[in-house]
């Protein structure tokens, strides 16, 4: 359905990811979705296959093969089978490993990156708080300097992997009175299950992404060592934005995967089901729905690939990433809606995965910056107020 010209390397990476998704994940999806099961062993298998090493150099356990485009096609292929299983690309590589690689000390890089890349450690990143989502710079969690290191107090919520992660990125205010506020934020590398003063709870009740754990983190006089600071004190906001530029990209790719799954399912169904003596595929209104799904999806795909291509050339791609993420999220939700319409009552059943596609697609309008936040970024560039 797609004739974008990829290098042989990217084609091989895509083929490997598709095989893994089809052979390893697909047989588990229905049962695991029912009981909301997360399987750490799958993360390790992905690590062994090199899925978390495309933008990480060999000296830290990666391969550097495939780059951002590699991460995008892997995310797409995994999410085409299960959106939940697209998440580890972010939780391991695009979030913690890449951000530590960009900003960490040599010691932090050696200590944390190889285990994230191999899947031996599970990663997370914690920005969101009960009262702070989109307005990241207003976060309330504090990190206070002491003689021994740092004391952290506050709460983070809706954190993917919160209660299973061994290592994570935490964003907290070292100077809550700083003006502008973002200058008072610092990033830390922390060990959620290991360091004193950190409590973790899963969020059990959620709308979708049932096989991807989500939880809360509570910091009560949590003690962080001096060398937990990532980058410079007071530069946390910049680090958070750099991280989002990467995690947002693979999130957009996951939305593409879900959109693709919706198109394939709807197409196959219309070629099999007959009403009024004709295949659904022969009704113009159904054809119109399929054409809409495809056109929006393909446009989103090209935008996401453009962003990855720019990143692989060493260029910034905030504008392209936000544009791609916005359209990929919106088109995934639209495609899931139309797929459900096309499948009629079967779409509304659990016999077909359309309800799952719709539930999972909705997450992309929220995570890594909501669709409104993406539109704010996009319009900022269109108006020339962002460069
Ligand atoms: C499944 C899942 C996994 C997640 N994983 C993580 C994670 O790993 N780490 C993490 O830190 N967070 C995570 N999050 C949290 C997610 O990033 C936030 O939910 C998201 O940033 C939005 O914040 P909010 O939910 O507080 O919404 P709010 O910021 O309260 O926004 C509510 C609504 O108001 C709109 N709005 C807000 N401000 C504006 C504005 N200025 N202009 C126009 N509209 C506006 C928003 O677009 C949205 O529609 C996850 C969330 C989910 C659902």
Write phi, then psi, for 148 (nearest 5 degrees).
-90, -20
Clarify whether residues 216 and 89 are in a common domain. no
CA of 207 to the centre of ligand 1 (A): 15
Clarify whether residues 39 and 175 are in a common domain. no
Clarify whether residues 319 and 370 are in a common domain. yes
In the three-class reduction of DSSP (H, G, I as helix; E, B as strand; rest coil), residue 48 is classed as helix
CA of 375 to the centre of ligand 1 (A): 14
Clarify whether residues 88 and 161 are in a common domain. no
**Domain span holding position 370:** 238-382
pTM for this model (two decimals): 0.97
Clarify whether residues 71 and 141 are in a common domain. no
* 314 inside domain: yes
Ligand 1 lined by 370 (C-beta under 6 Å):
yes
- What is the CATH number for 224? 2.40.110.10
Please tell me the distance from the alpha carbon of residue 234 to that of residue 143, in angstroms, as a whole number: 11
Determine the straight-line distance between the first and last CA of the chain, rounded to whole angstroms.
Answer: 35
The residues near 365 (Cβ < 8 Å, ≥ 6 apart) are 329, 330, 333, 371
Ligand 1 lined by 159 (C-beta under 6 Å):
yes
Please tell me the distance from the alpha carbon of residue 33 to that of residue 26, in angstroms, as a whole number: 11
Q: Is the dihedral of CA 176, 182, 188, 192 positive or negative?
A: positive
DSSP 351: S
CA of 55 to the centre of ligand 1 (A): 27
- CA-nearest of 364, 381, 292 to 327 is 364
Residue that is last in its domain, among 235, 252, 276 = 235
* Structural Rg of the chain based on CA atoms: 21
The answer to whether 338 and 345 are in contact (CB under 8 A) is no
In the three-class reduction of DSSP (H, G, I as helix; E, B as strand; rest coil), residue 159 is classed as strand
Clarify whether residues 348 and 306 are in a common domain. yes
Residue in 122, 212, 370 to alter for ligand 1 test, most ligand atoms within 8 A of Cβ: 370
Clarify whether residues 160 and 58 are in a common domain. no
Residue that is last in its domain, among 65, 88, 122 = 122
DSSP 275: E
Clarify whether residues 184 and 275 are in a common domain. no
Clarify whether residues 376 and 262 are in a common domain. yes
- CA-nearest of 95, 98, 96, 188 to 141 is 188
* 387 inside domain: no
Instruction: Please identify, by atom number, the ligand 1 atom nearest to the C-alpha of residue 135.
Output: 29
* 230 inside domain: yes
Burial 98-128 (b: 16+ CB within 10 A, else e): bbbbebbeeebbebbbbbbbbbebbbbbbbb
Clarify whether residues 343 and 358 are in a common domain. yes
* 1 inside domain: no
List of the chain residues with pLDDT < 50: 1
Please tell me the distance from the alpha carbon of residue 172 to that of residue 138, in angstroms, as a whole number: 10
Please tell me the distance from the alpha carbon of residue 243 to that of residue 124, in angstroms, as a whole number: 12
Reading phi first (left if > 0) and then psi (alpha if -120 to 50, else beta), residue 19 is in alpha
Instruction: Please identify, by atom number, the ligand 1 atom nearest to the C-alpha of residue 171.
Output: 11
Could you give the number of structural domains in the chain? 3
* 293 inside domain: yes
Clarify whether residues 358 and 253 are in a common domain. yes
In the three-class reduction of DSSP (H, G, I as helix; E, B as strand; rest coil), residue 170 is classed as strand
The two structure tokens encoding residue 172: 């907290």
């Amino acid at each position: 359905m797609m004739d974008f010209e990829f290098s042989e390397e990217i084609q091989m990476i895509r083929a490997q990811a598709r095989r893994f998704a089809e052979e390893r994940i697909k047989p588990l999806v229905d049962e695991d979705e029912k009981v909301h099961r997360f399987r750490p062993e799958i993360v390790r298998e992905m690590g062994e296959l090199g899925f978390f090493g495309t933008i990480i150099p060999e000296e830290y356990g990666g391969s550097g093969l495939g780059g951002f485009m590699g991460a995008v096609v892997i995310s797409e292929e995994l999410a085409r089978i299960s959106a939940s299983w697209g998440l580890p690309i972010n939780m391991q590589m695009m979030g913690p490993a890449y951000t530590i690689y960009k900003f960490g000390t040599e010691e932090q890089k050696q200590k944390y990156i190889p285990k994230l890349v191999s899947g031996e450690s599970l990663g997370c990143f914690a920005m969101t708080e009960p009262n702070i989502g989109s307005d990241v710079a207003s976060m309330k969690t504090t990190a206070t300097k002491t003689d021994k290191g740092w004391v952290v107090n506050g709460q983070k919520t809706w954190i993917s992997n919160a209660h299973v992660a061994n290592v994570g990125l935490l964003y907290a205010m070292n100077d809550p009175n700083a003006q502008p506020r973002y200058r008072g934020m610092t990033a830390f590398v922390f060990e959620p299950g290991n360091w004193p003063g950190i409590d973790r709870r899963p969020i059990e009740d959620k709308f979708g992404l049932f096989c991807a754990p989500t939880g809360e983190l509570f910091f009560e006089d949590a003690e962080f060592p001096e060398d937990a600071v990532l980058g410079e004190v007071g530069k946390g906001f910049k680090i958070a934005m750099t991280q989002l530029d990467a995690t947002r990209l693979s999130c957009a790719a996951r939305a593409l995967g879900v959109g693709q799954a919706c198109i394939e399912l709807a197409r196959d169904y219309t070629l099999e089901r007959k009403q009024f003596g004709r295949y659904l595929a022969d009704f113009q209104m159904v054809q119109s729905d399929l054409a809409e799904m495809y056109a929006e999806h393909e446009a989103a795909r090209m935008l996401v690939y453009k962003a990855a291509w720019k990143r692989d050339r060493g260029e910034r791609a905030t504008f392209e990433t936000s544009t791609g993420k916005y359209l990929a999220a919106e088109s995934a939700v639209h495609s899931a809606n139309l797929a459900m319409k096309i499948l009629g009552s079967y779409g509304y059943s659990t016999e077909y995965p359309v309800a799952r596609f719709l539930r999972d697609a909705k997450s992309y309008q929220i995570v890594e910056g909501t669709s409104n936040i993406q539109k704010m970024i996009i319009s900022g560039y269109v108006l020339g107020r962002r460069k």
